[in-house]
Amino acid sequence: MTTAPTARESSVGTAHTRVEGRDKVTGAARYAGEVPFAGLAHGWLALSTIARGRILSVETAGALAMPGVLTVLHHGNAPRLDTDYIGLLGVPPDPTCAVFQHDRVPHLGWPVALVVAGTPEQAREAAEALVVCYEEEPHDIAFTGEHPDAYPVDGHVPAVTGKGDLEAELAASDAVVDAEYTTPEEHHNPMEPHAATARWEDGRLEVVDSNQGATWVAGDLAKLFSLDPASVRVRSEHVGGGFGSKGIRAHQVAAVMASTALRRPVRVVMTRRQMFSLAGYRSPTVQRIRLGADAGGRLRALEHRSVSLTSTVFEFVEPSASVARVMYDAAAHHTANRVVRLDVPTPTWMRAPGEAPGSFALESALDELAEKCGIDPIELRARNEPERGPVSGLPFSGRGLLACFREGARRFGWADRDPRPGLRREGRWLLGTGTAAASFPAGAAPSTAAVTAEADGTFTVRISAADIGTGARTALTLVAADALGTRPDRVRVRIGDSDFGPAMIAGGSMGTRSWAWAVTAAADELRERLTPGTPVPPEGVTVRSDTTEAIGALARKERHSFGAQFAEVAVDVTTGEVRVRRMLGVFAPGRIVNPLTARGQFVGGMVWGISMALHEEAVRDPASGGHYGADLAGYHVATHADVPHVEADWIEDPDPDDPVGIKGIGEIGIVGAAAAVANAVWHATGVRHRSLPIRPDRVLLAGAPGT
Ligand code: MOS
């Protein structure tokens, strides 16, 4: 034993491998689809094969006669659910999760039945043999920016903002950009598919699930099934990725229905293909940007309008125009998010909802303006740094954008860049570099935590946090160790259990910050409670915290993380292939709790930005209303060979209003990344690509110098 140091070094800020890492790589960590239960039955979802219409009949007799089949649930025999409530996120539930409530079919891949059997194979075979008769109606899945039915929706942000005379300022501008940008339908594809097992035990419903918030899912299940919230427990210990897709969904509800009907545990797992219609996705966007600037590049006019789509059963808006409300000001400043309802599944949050597609359009347009003004793109941004929130008028709690650009430019070697496009060639490759800005809101939400001093001198933290692969469990271990004045190996952090009380979800880049706040508050109070020299009783000493009041007292400010993205690309003029050669992101993201996992978060977001720029695109067949190739063969994501040297780093940027200094890092890595790649493709080829992904056929069609 070494002697304990008297003044303890901070654990926050030091690299720490995942506390559950060994369990994960050895397979000891069990995921929701593999936790064993005695008497487990397996449900298989049957999905609609039409894109719009009515179910005439579900002919169950044949399926029920098949080996091992226990029951078939559908709208004709399923229990009624209560969907008339406002959920944790302040909106009513998406009726998509309330399965088997009526005979309407609003999109292809809508759940029409659950076949339950003794094995997954038996359930699958019967589900595939199930005969469902439909009355089909004509469907409309055609998404365009000019759709006549597009309308503004106030989502979690207002739909429309505006000040100043746009046309007058544009007319008085020396340089004008007026361009339309499009992004395609994109899917989360977390590595672990959605999976839930439901069972009743001692009068309580227990659901073992893979989600981004155990109390979120538990709360919705209690409401849907009209149960006492105290009688519902959701556990979600290990989660193989979520990215916004893992909330309350059809599989948990179907599993609870079946478990209730059969009085035994029932598991429902989504297939990769089913996830394309049941797990949510990012809406395609059509965005129009108009910028007007004086000869020095200072913006006089900024308009950012976005149209996205949603289903006919729920309003979800991809708020792509909102990023302009934070980034740049102008005398005339107008933004609008509109939505059109089509016969498609409901989209949902996907990593940096709004900011990811919005930054592609806005940061591409800024690059076009820099070209028109003959000003370096970084200098253009420096000349347009707002003093206050362009729309809110509020001061920024911190705005590290230019510091990120300075550090990024130095490390990337930006000063040597010749701004002229289409000049650098290496064999058949044209080379170019590009940059773009990034931002993402930094917030915190009320959470509760319990910290226990154990009799053996260790500590246990209990919080209904979710570690969806981010390293949140490890981050909270470091935070708790510092707050308790002890070493991380003396702290056990237990998460992913709704019985630990309400807490923020792993979402909005707000999870770790919100949970760390609650853990710190409980640990601080526990330290005051413990008397040095007095032994801890056998049952331990537990202190609970609730940060509702503390977070409510935060002064109103513009709170964001910022970043600067840099990319170098090579474009093959003979095949149209774009390869990213290197990428650098420098962020002002608040205090970094664990550099090891934080870097993973940033790099992961940037890799996704490469994927968004060059690969990802879900395409629907107008005839069926469903996808071509709803799988990872048809839907391309960047893999190892597509990903070059990606570097992420950060500058000192602690949030003075946060007990730990955290802002949040989950989403900003993808923001601006696709624009940096697209701007580099322009620099390489002299051709602007305003539609993602920048596929080889698009590069070839657009032409390039030397082709
Ligand atoms: Mo994130 S898209 O809030 O999971």
Q: Which of 329, 363, 314, 371 is nearest to 183 (CA)?
A: 363
**How many C-alpha atoms does 51 have within 13 Å on its Cβ side?**
18
Rounded to whole angstroms, the Cα distance separating 705 from 707 reads 6
pLDDT value of residue 155: 67
Domain stops at, among 278, 305, 330: 278
How far is residue 630 from each of residues 33, 273, 448, measured CA to CA in Å? 21, 5, 40
pLDDT value of residue 704: 57
Average pLDDT over residues 661-676: 98
DSSP string, 322-383: GGHHHH---SEEEEEEEEEE-SS------SSTTHHHHHHHHHHHHHHHHHHHT--HHHHHHT
- pLDDT tens digits, 162-208: 999 999 999 999 999 999 999 999 999 999 999 999 999 999 999 99
Contacts of 340 (CB under 8 A, 6+ apart): 143, 147, 149, 150, 151, 307, 308, 309, 310
Both 116 and 257 in one domain: the answer is: yes
Rounded to whole angstroms, the Cα distance separating 104 from 130 reads 18
Give the distance (Å) from ligand 1 centre to CA of residue 309.
18
| Residue 298 within any structural domain of the chain | no
pLDDT value of residue 582: 97
| Cα R_g (the chain), whole angstroms | 26
Give the distance (Å) from ligand 1 centre to CA of residue 471.
15
Using an 8 Å Cβ cutoff, are 545 and 571 in contact?
no
Average pLDDT over residues 67-96: 94
* Ligand 1 nearest-atom number relative to CA 245: 4
Contacts of 447 (CB under 8 A, 6+ apart): 463, 464, 465, 502, 503, 504, 514, 515, 517, 518, 546, 547
Both 605 and 683 in one domain: the answer is: yes
pLDDT value of residue 95: 94
pLDDT value of residue 89: 77
pLDDT value of residue 445: 97
- What tokens does 705 get? 């110098």
| Residue 437 within any structural domain of the chain | yes
For residue 423, the tally of other CB atoms under 10 A from its CB is 14
Strand segments (E) across 459-577? 459-462, 491-494, 541-546, 560-572
Rounded to whole angstroms, the Cα distance separating 256 from 375 reads 60
pLDDT value of residue 532: 87
| Residue 388 within any structural domain of the chain | no
Both 544 and 677 in one domain: the answer is: no
Q: Which of 250, 253, 254, 219 is nearest to 234 (CA)?
A: 219
Using an 8 Å Cβ cutoff, are 284 and 182 in contact?
yes
| Residue 77 within any structural domain of the chain | yes
Q: Which residues does the annotation mark as catalytic?
A: 667
Give the distance (Å) from ligand 1 centre to CA of residue 73.
31
Both 570 and 436 in one domain: the answer is: yes
Residues lining ligand 1, judged by CB closer than 6 Å?
212, 242-244, 349-351, 353, 507-508
Residue where the block lists tokens 């439909």? 134
- pLDDT tens digits, 392-449: 999 999 999 999 999 999 999 999 999 999 999 999 999 999 999 999 999 999 999 9
Give the distance (Å) from ligand 1 centre to CA of residue 510.
9
Rounded to whole angstroms, the Cα distance separating 236 from 463 reads 12
Give the torsion through C-alpha atoms of 259, 495, 508, 378, to 10 deg: -140
* pLDDT(157) > 80: no
Average pLDDT over residues 300-323: 97
- pLDDT tens digits, 547-586: 999 999 888 999 999 999 999 999 998 999 999 999 999 9
Q: What burial class does residue 609 get, using C-beta atoms within 10 Å of its C-beta: 0-12 exposed, 13-18 middle, 19+ buried?
A: buried
Give the distance (Å) from ligand 1 centre to CA of residue 317.
14
Both 496 and 533 in one domain: the answer is: yes
pLDDT value of residue 604: 98
| Residue 565 within any structural domain of the chain | yes
pLDDT value of residue 154: 80
Mutate to test the pocket of ligand 1, among 249, 349, 670, 671 (most ligand atoms within 8 A of CB): 349
| Residue 295 within any structural domain of the chain | no
How far is residue 143 from each of residues 140, 274, 627, measured CA to CA in Å? 9, 22, 14
Which residue has the least CA distance to atom 4 on ligand 1? Answer: 244
Whole-model pTM over 0.95? yes
Confidence of residue 300 (pLDDT cuts 50, 70, 90): very high
Average pLDDT over residues 586-600: 98
Both 431 and 541 in one domain: the answer is: no
pLDDT value of residue 87: 87
Domain stops at, among 525, 553, 581: 553
* Ligand 1 nearest-atom number relative to CA 246: 4
Q: Which of 362, 275, 277, 283 is nearest to 317 (CA)?
A: 283
* pLDDT(603) > 90: yes
Give the distance (Å) from ligand 1 centre to CA of residue 523.
28
pLDDT value of residue 3: 40
Mutate to test the pocket of ligand 1, among 510, 667, 668, 671 (most ligand atoms within 8 A of CB): 667
* pLDDT(7) > 90: no
Strand segments (E) across 254-331? 266-269, 285-293, 299-310
Both 418 and 489 in one domain: the answer is: no
pLDDT value of residue 513: 98
pLDDT value of residue 8: 67
* pLDDT(308) > 70: yes
* Ligand 1 nearest-atom number relative to CA 510: 3
pLDDT value of residue 64: 98
Using an 8 Å Cβ cutoff, are 107 and 345 in contact?
yes
How far is residue 146 from each of residues 143, 319, 689, measured CA to CA in Å? 9, 17, 20
Rounded to whole angstroms, the Cα distance separating 230 from 218 reads 9
* pLDDT(4) > 70: no
- pLDDT tens digits, 227-253: 999 999 999 999 999 999 999 999 999
Average pLDDT over residues 350-358: 98
Confidence of residue 158 (pLDDT cuts 50, 70, 90): confident
Domain stops at, among 553, 581, 611: 553
Average pLDDT over residues 14-22: 98
Rounded to whole angstroms, the Cα distance separating 635 from 616 reads 6
Contacts of 401 (CB under 8 A, 6+ apart): 381, 385, 437, 439, 562, 563, 564, 588
* Ligand 1 nearest-atom number relative to CA 243: 4
Mutate to test the pocket of ligand 1, among 89, 243, 510 (most ligand atoms within 8 A of CB): 243
pLDDT value of residue 553: 87
- Name the domain count of the chain: 3
Q: What burial class does residue 454 get, using C-beta atoms within 10 Å of its C-beta: 0-12 exposed, 13-18 middle, 19+ buried?
A: middle
Both 67 and 112 in one domain: the answer is: yes
Using an 8 Å Cβ cutoff, are 657 and 555 in contact?
yes
SS3 label, residue 299: strand
Both 214 and 270 in one domain: the answer is: yes
- What tokens does 140 get? 């409309």
Residue where the block lists tokens 């400010």? 557
What's the mean per-residue pLDDT of the chain?
96
For residue 38, the tally of other CB atoms under 10 A from its CB is 7
pLDDT value of residue 707: 45
CATH code (residue 249): 3.30.365.10
* Ligand 1 nearest-atom number relative to CA 468: 4
Contacts of 263 (CB under 8 A, 6+ apart): 200
H-type helices in 20-78, by residue range?
Answer: 21-26, 61-64
What residue numbers bound the domain in which 195 lies?
A: 41-138+189-278
Both 459 and 524 in one domain: the answer is: yes
Question: What percentage of the chain reaches a pLDDT higher than 70?
Answer: 98
How large is the angle between the packed helices 595-614 and 673-685, nearest 10 degrees? Answer: 50
Average pLDDT over residues 46-60: 98
Both 126 and 262 in one domain: the answer is: yes
Average pLDDT over residues 579-604: 98
Give the distance (Å) from ligand 1 centre to CA of residue 551.
20
* pLDDT(2) > 50: no
Q: Which of 412, 366, 473 is nearest to 649 (CA)?
A: 412
| Residue 380 within any structural domain of the chain | no
Cis peptide before 693 (omega within 30 of 0): yes
Both 79 and 134 in one domain: the answer is: yes
H helix count then E strand count, the chain: 17, 25
pLDDT value of residue 705: 57
| Residue 338 within any structural domain of the chain | no
Give the distance (Å) from ligand 1 centre to CA of residue 666.
8
Q: Which of 81, 102, 105, 108 is nearest to 93 (CA)?
A: 81
- Sign of the torsion formed by the C-alpha atoms of 256, 261, 264 and 266: negative
